[in-house]
């Protein structure tokens, strides 16, 4: 997630976004918990897997339709 307007974003470093209105500071996010109620730590303010997710448009990356999605990259072969 990035704002697209801070100094880091406009210089091509959206991974270092400084705007805390679009992301939470490390250790602040407490949106997820395990079944027993224990806090689940998050990485990069997301860290979850799901078949469907609601995300901000700044978190999206368009995939070229010519890229085959059923091919596993060579580095992931196993």
pLDDT at 12 over 80: yes
The residue among 77 and 59 whose pLDDT is bigger is 59
Residues 26, 39: Cα–Cα separation, whole Å:
14
Least confident of 10-14, 36-40, 50-54, 66-70: 50-54
Confirm if 1 and 45 have CB atoms less than 8 A apart.
yes
pTM of the model: 0.41
């Amino acid at each position: 997630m990035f704002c697209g307007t801070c100094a880091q974003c406009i210089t091509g470093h959206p991974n270092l976004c400084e705007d805390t209105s679009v992301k939470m500071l490390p250790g602040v996010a407490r949106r997820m918990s395990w079944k027993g109620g224990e806090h689940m730590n998050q990485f990069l303010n997301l860290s979850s897997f799901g078949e469907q997710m609601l995300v901000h448009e700044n978190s999206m990356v368009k995939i070229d339709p010519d890229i085959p999605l059923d091919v596993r990259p060579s580095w992931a072969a196993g």
